[in-house]
Structure formats: C-alpha cells, structure tokens
Amino acid sequence: MTKAKKEATFFQALIPIFALIILLTTNVLLFGSDAISGANQVSLLLAAGVAGIISWRLGYNWEEINESILRSINSSMTAIIILLTIGSLAGTWLLSGIVPAMIYYGLKILNPTIFLFAAVIVCAIVSLATGSSWSTVATVGIALLGIGKAMDMSEGVIAGAIISGAYFGDKMSPLSDTTNLAPAMAGTDLFTHIRYMVYTTAPSIIITLLIFLAWGFTVDTSVAQQDSSEVLLAIENSFNLNPLLFLVPVLVVFLIIKRVPASPALLIGALLGGIFAVIFQPNIINQVSGIEGDYVKSSFVAVMKALSVSINIQTDNEMITNLLSAKGMAGMLNTVWLIVCAMIFGGVMESCGLLKVIAHQIIRFAHSTGSLVASTAATCIFFNITASDQYMAIAVPGRMFSDTYRERGLKPEVLSRTLEDTGTVTSVLVPWNTCGATQAGVLGVATVVYAPYCMFCLISPFMTMFMAFFNIKIRRLHDSPEKAR
C-alpha cells in the first residue's frame, strides 16, 4: 500500500536550511575561499540527506525523491555545458593571444583612475547587446580582469565592477532569458516589463557608476603604471599582437546577438581561438606543447591542452606568468561538482514541498505594498540560496505571488520587476548557486571575495523595496493610462 503523504510543517522545512547554514558557516571559518574545493559540495549533500529523511518521514519514497533530484540536475545541464565550453574558450583565447591582446590594448587606452568605471560601462554595453551576463564575463570580463590585475588592483573589486555591468545588461536586454521569464511568470509583456524596470534600474546603475568612479581616485597610479609597463613589455615579447585576432571575439558577439545558442557560439569561439593560435603564435604553441621540430604535432598537442587542462605562458615575472594562465575545461570541474550538489539539495527540498512551505509562511506577513514587495524579494533570495538556480528564484515566486498582487490591485509589472531586481541579480552572490559558482570559476575569483563589491547586485533589491515602501511609481490596476507611464 502507498504510504499516506503528510504536509511538512514550517519547522520541518527549516531543519535542512539550518543544517546547511551551520555546515557552510563552519566551512568558511575553517577553509576560507578554499571551501568551494570540496567542503561546500559535501555540505550540500549532507543537507540534502537531512531533507531526504524529512521527505521519507512525510511519506515520500525514494523513487519520488530521486525523480525530483534528476529533474533538478537536468535543469542545470545547459549551464554545465556552457561552463565547460567557457573553460575551453578561455584556454584557446590565451594560447592564440586574443586575451593578451585585449589586455595589452586595454592597458594602453584605459587610465587606472577611470578603469573600474569604464569596466562597468563596457560590460553593460556588451551584455545589453548579447543578453548574456555569462558570455560577457567569459569574454570581455576575463580581459578586463587581466587589465585590472596588471594595474595592481584588487581582483575582488575588479570582478565586482565586471559583474555589476554584466548583470545590468542581462537584466535590461530583451534578448536575455531571465528578462523574458519574469514577465511571463507575472503575466505582463516584455517591453512593458523593461520600461518599468528603468525606474529602479537607472538609479541603481547610476549609484554603482558613481561608487566605482570615486573608487578609481583611491588607486595609486604610480604603482599601477609601473606594473602596467611590465605587463606590456612581457606581452610584446611573448605574443604576436596582430589586429586580426579581434575577429574571433567580434564573431562570437555577433553570433550571440543573432540569437545563436550560447553553447555552440562559445564552442565556435574556442575552436577559432585554437586555429588562430596555430596561425599567429608558433612560439607559444611550441612552449605549451614542449615539442620541437614537428609543428603539426606540436599544434595539436598545444590546442588540446588549451581546450582541456591548465596552461601557463612562462615569463621572467611571476605575477605576469600567473596573469597569463587559463584552466581549460578541467579547471571548471570543481564548479560543475558544486552545481550538481546544489541541484541535488534543491531537488530533495522540492520533492516534498519544503521550499513552498517556507515561501507561503513569508506571504502571511505581507500586509502593505512595501511588505509584499519585500516578501517577494526575500522569497527570490531564499530560492537563490536553497534551490541554487536563478530560474527557480524567478519562476516559483512568480507563480506563488501573481494572484496576491492582483488581489492587492497591483499591475503584473510590479511583480515582474521585483522578480528581476532580486531573483536575477542576487543569484551571482551565492557561492553554490549556478550563477555564483560559474562566475567564480570563470574569473578565478571566489564568490565571497567579489560579492561585497558587486554594487549593482547589492543595490537593486534595496532600490525596489525603497520604491515600494514609499509608493514611488507603483502601478495599480485602476490607474489611468497617463499615470501608468
């Protein structure tokens, strides 16, 4: 006989969350930024085990729990494939001289004082055009990180500027999947959603730009210029800086703008990087392969290494050697491991409705418009932490709150904007979320290191709650068309 299923209590739903928080806090205290190398993964599995025991006690069998786990993992497979492809792209773009050329000309053009300000703008423009924060960070973001490190800036601050710009563009681009998902969940159209987001997004990005502009005036330009000169000389001596190298990133951006899916677009970029390396960088090919006298064999070995494993371009300066390095596909395996474990935890939590129980309890305290928006924001952040996926952090709260917003007389774009202002941008701040894990893996900067400097992502949730509590530009169903504009 089938065991009767019970509904979880609020206390039962919180037990796995508390277990995870305790384990992750212990990891940070004991391992620091190295926690992502295994401790966090195991903690997610242990917390999933706790959730599994509760699910079993509620009457759910292993087949049902396992099916939910597999659904959860399957939802992350696209992200995992993109992540592995980005690892290969970073390797061949280093081998071919594409990233070093970006760093070289970036150092020539960008003044250290305005670098962070410019990094936000560049990433915002590219992400707005492509609709993808991931592709932006994986291409121009990697180059900008190299430029900033060559200027002796903190990698956490540089990554914060890059991610701030990339997530602004991702949030506002009509090509972005999350920008399309949020209005679909809330029940409004895409361009109404985008226009309405301007009221919270414009102040957020302006404040972000002002912060990074002011930050630039604290940079010691004498040290930055000395380090920059050493990097310029090392790149000049090591690479053939042919302008034709920029054809590859231009083509990748063009493919993404043309709505070619990210995985094949990035794979094409990775393979072209390998071809351009063979054409333009014979000395680097021989150095990486360790083979002399047979260029065909040497090229094959070097390109395969760049696609798959870590490579370093050796120079006389240790800092520059570390700068001219890439991890390849193998360098992303820790991140893939983290994502899979996070999806297992999210799948078990979802199997018996533990996540929904917690979210419904939050709604009970939402009496005013401000508290309703704040509750929605908290729910989105909660799902980013527990379900470890920004799509779930938009889709599930969107379904949960849509009726409540209508009952309160609020137009659906109020909900869709809140979903984006919190669900999209906070995903990158959670180390075990697919977004946080991916950006940390791509940039080589731990999430806990860059998170305090992702100004746009930190400001956006507070901005949307501020507007709601003070009833600024809050659209209601009975508003006239003129007032809704």
pLDDT at 182 over 90: no
The answer, yes or no, to whether residue 42 has pLDDT greater than 80, is yes
Q: What is the pLDDT of residue 481?
A: 56
Q: Work out the angle at residue 14's Cα, subtended by the Cα atoms of residues 11 and 20, and round it to the nearest 5 degrees.
A: 150
Q: Rounded mean pLDDT of 282-304?
A: 92
User: What percent of the chain is predicted at pLDDT more than 70?
Assistant: 93
Look at residue 414 in the predicted model and tell me its pLDDT: 94
Chain-wide mean pLDDT for the chain?
85
Q: Which residues lie closer than 8 Å to 119 by C-beta, 6 or more apart?
A: 144, 148, 158, 161, 162, 165, 212
pLDDT at 159 over 60: yes
Least confident of 161-170, 206-215, 251-260, 294-303: 251-260
Report how far residue 343's alpha carbon sits from residue 75's, in angstroms, rounded to the nearest whole number.
Answer: 8
- Mean pLDDT confidence for 206-210: 96
Residue 49 has pLDDT above 60, yes or no: yes
More confident residue, 352 or 162: 162
Q: Which of 190, 208, 72 is nearest to 131 (CA)?
A: 190
Which tens digits make up the pLDDT trace of 454-477?
999 999 999 999 999 999 988 888
Q: Predicted confidence band at 227 (pLDDT cuts at 50, 70, 90)?
A: low
Query: Rounded to an integer, what distance in angstroms lies between the CA atom of residue 199 and that of residue 192?
Result: 12
Express as a percent the part of the chain with pLDDT over 90. 30
DSSP 421: I
**Any idea where the domains of the chain sit in the sequence?**
14-75+332-484, 78-331
Rounded to the nearest 10 degrees, how much is the dihedral formed by the CA atoms of 375, 379, 380, 382? 140
pLDDT, tens digit, 9 for 90 and up, residues 309-363: 888 887 766 666 766 777 888 888 887 887 788 788 888 888 888 877 877 777 7
What would the mean pLDDT of 437-446 be, rounded to a whole number? 88
Torsion sign (Cα): 261, 428, 133, 324: negative
pLDDT given for residue 1 in this prediction: 46
Selection from 435, 425, 423, 414 nearest residue 458 by Cα: 425
Confidence of residue 162 (pLDDT cuts 50, 70, 90): very high
- Element spanning 312, H or E: strand 311-312
Could you tell me the CA-to-CA distances from 273 to 217, 292, 348 in Å, in that order?
A: 36, 21, 41
Give the model's pLDDT for residue 285: 93
Q: Which of 290 and 366 is assigned the larger pLDDT? A: 290
Sign of torsion over alpha carbons 134, 136, 137, 142: positive
Looking up tokens 């004991």 gives 30
pLDDT at 87: 83
Rounded Cα gap, residues 295 and 189, in angstroms = 56
Task: 264-267: list long-range contacts, CB under 8 Å, 24+ apart.
Answer: 265/135, 266/82, 266/85, 266/86, 266/89, 266/135, 266/138, 267/85, 267/88, 267/89
Asked which of 33-37, 46-50, 146-150, 410-414 is least confident by mean pLDDT, the reply is 33-37
Residue 318, pLDDT score: 67
C-alpha dihedral, 404 to 407 to 413 to 414, nearest 10° = -70
| 3-class DSSP state of 261 | coil
Distance CA 293, CA 282 (A): 12
Question: Which is higher by pLDDT, 375 or 130?
Answer: 375
Q: pLDDT tens across 84-132, in order?
A: 887 888 889 889 988 888 778 877 777 788 889 999 998 888 788 667 7
- What distance in Å separates the CA atoms of residue 13 and residue 10, rounded to the nearest whole number? 5
CA 76 and chain centroid, separation: 13
pLDDT of 187 strictly over 50? yes
pLDDT attached to residue 347: 86
Residues in the chain: 485
Phi, psi (deg, nearest 5) at residue 311: -130, 150
